[in-house]
Structures are given as C-alpha cells and as structure tokens.
C-alpha cells in the first residue's frame, strides 16, 4: 500500500489530499481545514492595504489642498465652490489609484463609481456644512477646517470602500505581466 500526501492551497481554506493506492485501486480522501482568522498573511495584507490607502489618500489630500489654495487664494473663488471642485478632483484621483493598486478590484467601474458618488452625495453636504460652521461660526482658519474634514474623509471612506464598494471584488483584478 502506497500513500501520497499532497497539500493544496485554496483561497480561504487548505485542502489536504491523501491518495491511497492499493492493488491498482485508487481511493481519494479529501479533507478541508479552515484557516484561522488570525492568519498572519491576511493581517499583513490588510495592513499593507490600509497603508496604501492612507498614502494614496494623502496624495489625493495634496491635490485637494493645492487646488483649494489655487481656487481660494489666486482665483478668489467663493469658499463653497473652491472646496467642492478641489474635493471632486481628489476623489477622482483617489478612486482611480485605490481601485487599481489598493483593492485590486475588477469590479464594474461605473457601478463602483456610483457607490462612491453615493458616499459623496452624503459626505459633501455634511462636510460643507461642517466646514462652514467651523469657519463662519467658530472662527476656525479655512485650512484647519479643510484638514479636519480631510482626516474624517480618510477614515470614513476607507471603511466604505473596503467593505461596501470593493468588499466582494477585492483582489479580483488580473496581475499585469
């Protein structure tokens, strides 16, 4: 009797095949062992994903901050329009980079973008009101109010994109060769 043991790695679990060969007969026993949720590779992958999101969001924040400065200081736009246009530019930049490099998603881009647009349909009026309140009522500096909203945006958008926009399509994009 010969035994050949082969371990096969699946996406969420590890399958162990034990082939039993006996007198030209072939029997296969297939057992599955679920990976523990405390898998170090999974934690490392999520940590790297979070760091990538933060870095890409920081680059989007730079775009938002510079464009806001351009619109507010040089073009003397009204505060609301300067904020709205600079936010839109940063969202487009952030969505594009995070979909491709952070979440590696092959999801339908228009559907994913509509989900992000739904987030900003709620976030933009709330953040605009919040910035208006901070600057006009509380007397905060416009840049401090913008930075505060950028931090709130970073945290809420990460969870929204991670679990709702790209949750079921993470790591589905084919790697370019």
Q: SS3 sequence, the chain?
A: CEEEEEEEECCCEEEEEEEEEECCEEEEEEEEEECCCCCHHHHHHHHHHHHHHHHHHHHHHHHHHHHHHHHHHHCCCCHHHHHHHHHHHHHHHHHHHHHHHHCCCCCCHHHHHHHHHHHHHHHHHHHHHHHHHHHHHCCCCHHHHHHHHHHHHHHHHHHHHHHHHCCCCCCCCCCCC
* Domain that includes residue 152, residue range: 40-165
* Count of the separate structural domains present in the chain: 2
Query: What pLDDT, in 10s, does the model give residues 73-93?
Result: 999 999 889 988 998 999 999
Predicted local distance difference test score (pLDDT) of residue 30:
45
Do 56 and 87 sit in the same domain of this protein?
A: yes
Residues of the chain with pLDDT under 70: 1-40, 176-177
Does residue 112 share a domain with residue 73? yes
Q: Are residues 160 and 73 in the same domain?
A: yes
pTM exceeds 0.85, yes or no: no
Same domain, 19 and 78: no
pLDDT at position 143 = 83
Residues 88 and 66 in one domain: yes
Q: Do 7 and 70 lie in a common domain?
A: no
């Amino acid at each position: 009797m010969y035994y050949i043991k082969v371990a096969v790695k699946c996406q969420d679990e590890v399958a162990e095949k034990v082939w039993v060969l006996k007198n030209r007969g072939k029997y296969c026993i297939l057992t599955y062992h679920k990976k523990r949720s405390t898998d170090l590779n999974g934690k490392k992958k999520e940590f790297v994903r979070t760091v990538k999101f933060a870095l890409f969001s920081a680059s989007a924040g730079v775009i938002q901050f510079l464009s806001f400065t351009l619109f507010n200081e040089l073009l003397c736009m009204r505060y609301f329009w300067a904020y709205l246009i600079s936010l839109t530019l940063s969202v487009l930049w952030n969505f594009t980079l995070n979909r491709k490099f952070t979440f590696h998603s092959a999801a339908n881009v228009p559907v994913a973008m509509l989900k992000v647009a739904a987030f900003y349909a709620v976030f933009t009026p709330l953040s605009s009101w919040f910035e208006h309140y901070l600057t006009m009522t509380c007397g905060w500096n416009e840049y401090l109010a913008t930075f505060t909203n950028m931090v709130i945006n970073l945290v809420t958008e990460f969870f929204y994109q991670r679990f709702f926009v790209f949750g079921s399509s993470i790591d589905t994009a084919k790697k370019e060769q």
